[in-house]
């Protein structure tokens, strides 16, 4: 049996493979052109359409179109596991593509929790703000505390939230530590946690490169974890339960070992 280090090294070698330049560059140019057009269409709809749900549906359609035009098929397993009511979705994070994937996948009742640095990109900030995204400061303590209180309030009101609890992604394959915010919000709102594994986005658009490659994505929607105040001793235990479920289907190593 391969050790964890062996798995990481073999996966890293796979991630480092590139198409031959005569194929990679034309595809990358086309993919970025198609993606840019879809973003512009999304922005126009987000600017002009009244009502948050209408704007979210428009942006979702734009995200689906971007994946389709870029020849990135998406297979979804466990669609019926997503509750019809409010819940907290937590997903692994391995590529800038992951946000587009969740936008294309999840119904319009979800608000996305985004790292605060994205507010420094005006176009992205405008689009995310118009679809009700919530920004979380990671590096300034006062801002982090304020944003955490806002998330707890939203969860207590029954709002559905989607998180990347690792907070960011790195080039190395594997699943890292989950920050507690999503799980504290779930406990506060007594909302079920739905772990979601995104498989394939690291191959399509790895960290450290702007050259995407065509590839298939598989989204595993896993069994919801019921949450009540008595179910878990704290957010850390709940976070690790969700993380282990994602690890079981992700096919990447545990970076905490």
Give the β-pairing of 217-221 and 193-199.
antiparallel
The number of beta carbons lying within 10 Å of the beta carbon of residue 50 is 6
List, for residues 34-73, the tens digit of each pLDDT value.
999 999 999 999 999 999 999 999 999 999 999 999 999 9
d(CA 191, CA 195): 13
The pLDDT, as a whole number, for residue 209 is 86
List, for residues 86-123, the tens digit of each pLDDT value.
999 999 999 999 999 999 999 999 999 988 777 788 88
The pLDDT, as a whole number, for residue 16 is 42
The pLDDT, as a whole number, for residue 143 is 53
Where would I find the beta strands (DSSP E) of the chain?
A: 74-77, 88-91, 110-115, 134-136, 160-163, 193-199, 217-221
What domains, with CATH codes, occur in the chain? 4-250 (3.40.1130)
d(CA 238, CA 235): 5
The residue length of the chain stands at: 257
d(CA 51, CA 115): 24
Distances (CA, A) of 164 to 58, 172, 239: 22, 17, 12
The pLDDT, as a whole number, for residue 118 is 79
d(CA 122, CA 127): 9
The pLDDT, as a whole number, for residue 202 is 93
List, for residues 145-187, the tens digit of each pLDDT value.
677 778 888 888 888 999 999 988 888 899 999 998 899 889 8
List, for residues 197-236, the tens digit of each pLDDT value.
999 999 999 888 888 998 999 999 999 999 875 667 678 9
Residue 68, classified by CB atoms within 10 Å of its CB into exposed (0-12), middle (13-18) or buried (19+), is middle
- pLDDT band of residue 138 (cuts 50, 70, 90) is low
Can you give the pTM of this predicted structure? 0.86
């Amino acid at each position: 049996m391969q050790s964890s280090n062996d798995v990481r090294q073999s996966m890293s070698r796979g991630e480092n493979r590139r198409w031959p330049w005569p194929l990679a560059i034309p595809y990358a140019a086309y993919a970025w052109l198609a993606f840019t057009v879809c973003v512009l269409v999304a922005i126009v709809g987000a600017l002009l359409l009244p009502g948050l749900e209408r704007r979210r549906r428009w942006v979702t359609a734009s995200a689906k179109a971007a994946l389709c035009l870029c020849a990135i098929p998406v297979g979804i397993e466990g669609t019926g596991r997503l509750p019809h009511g409010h819940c907290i979705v937590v997903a692994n994070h391995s590529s800038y593509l992951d946000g587009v994937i969740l936008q294309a996948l999840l119904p319009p009742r979800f608000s996305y929790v985004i790292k605060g640095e994205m507010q420094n990109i005006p176009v992205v900030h405008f689009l995310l703000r118009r679809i009700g995204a919530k920004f979380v400061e990671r590096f300034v303590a006062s801002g982090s505390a304020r944003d955490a209180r806002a998330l707890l309030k939203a969860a207590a009101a029954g709002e559905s939230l989607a998180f990347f609890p690792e907070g960011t992604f790195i080039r190395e394959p594997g699943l890292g530590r989950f920050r507690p915010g999503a799980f504290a919000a779930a406990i506060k709102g007594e909302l079920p946690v739905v772990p979601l594994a995104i498989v394939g986005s690291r191959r399509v658009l790895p960290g450290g490169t702007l050259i995407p490659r065509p590839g298939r994505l598989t989204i595993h929607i896993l069994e919801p974890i019921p949450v009540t105040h008595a179910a878990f001793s704290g957010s850390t235990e709940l976070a690790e339960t969700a993380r282990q479920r994602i690890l079981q289907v992700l096919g990447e190593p545990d970076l905490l070992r």
